[in-house]
Amino acid sequence: MRKLTRRELALMLGAGALTGTAHGRLWGRSVQPGVVGLAEARAVLGTPLGPETARLAMAGALAASVGAESGASAAATLFSPKDVVGIKVNCLAGRVLSPRVELVEALVDLIAEAGVDRGRIIVFERSNRELQRAGFTIRESGPSYLCVGINNDYDREPSTSGAIGSCFARMVSTTCSALVSFGVVKDHDLAGVSAGMKNWYGVIHNPNKYHQNGCDPYITDVARHPYIRNKLRLTILDGVNAQCHGGPAFRQGGIFELGMVAASTDPVAADLWAWREIESERAKRGLPTLEAAGRPVRFLATAAKQGLGVDNPEKLLLVSA
């Protein structure tokens, strides 16, 4: 694992030292797999970030992830004005441990400043109910952005990817041309980690079928389906408050203040960073590793083998805002 400044990353990109992408489809810039942009953001559990704090954190992490000068210019490298951008939020744990509304709205603002009409930006989750429980307001129209649940609107016929056969939400199969996974840094009782990649279980109609063997290879198989792999531009992780034990639902005793927002074009590297932070906190508390606790994180190695990103800690590049 290496730590870089945003300037160092920009210089390396400008010199052509870093090439390729985690998914191969950045809008206007090539970024090396393994890069995770980080920005500080601190708030007491259950309290919102101030709008300016949220804006600075989101812009900083996003700019750091691609070596850009600003959050808006970073967004412009990732999204075209012709895109319909879907932001999949993970609201399983309710208001206390879902992506903060103020961070999501800061991302929406940056994408809009990059030239995407707000009516073409959709924040979504499995249902309206889950969005509302997490503090989001349902918006089926209007000037700010759309915010709607999938609400059982799935393809009529299943499609396959590896070991899965699922009907995908029309939101990802048909409506959106670009996708963002907006997750939370937390542990998972079966997969070990639930951050950015596990979030995509929320776009298939039968996720209950795919939890054996630590959700491996199923998390990878969902993420490598063309509906996701060919459209995914960005992973954002809300780590203002994170959870190291008791997940994926909220558990008071497992919460810790991480105080970070992460952004990456590499979904595997983003989850690798989250995993390392969770293990670090578990070690501080005298808890066993996730593997020793019987929930090893298997899916990242599988995802790396499928070319979805970097799972090697030695190739993880952390870039500070």
Residues with Cβ within 8 Å of 141's Cβ and at least 6 positions away in sequence, in order, are: 119
The structure tokens listed for 10 are: 């920009």
Render 275-309 in DSSP notation, one character per residue: HHHHHHHHHHTTPPPTTTTT----HHHHHHHTTS-
Burial readout 169-186 (b: 16 or more C-beta within 10 A, e: otherwise): bbbbbeebbbbbbbbbbb
Q: How many domains does the chain have?
A: 1
Give SS3 for 248: coil
Compute the distance between CA of residue 314 and CA of residue 316 in angstroms, rounded to an integer. 6
Q: Which domain holds residue 296?
A: 2-320
Q: What is the pLDDT along the chain (321 residues), one digit of tens a residue?
A: 777 776 667 666 655 555 443 333 444 444 568 999 999 999 988 888 999 999 999 999 999 999 999 999 999 999 999 999 999 999 999 999 999 999 999 999 999 999 999 999 999 999 999 999 999 999 999 889 999 999 999 999 999 999 999 999 999 999 999 999 999 999 999 999 999 999 999 999 999 999 999 999 999 999 999 999 999 999 999 999 999 999 999 998 999 999 999 999 999 999 999 999 999 999 999 999 999 999 999 999 999 999 999 999 999 999 998
* CATH code for position 14: 3.40.50
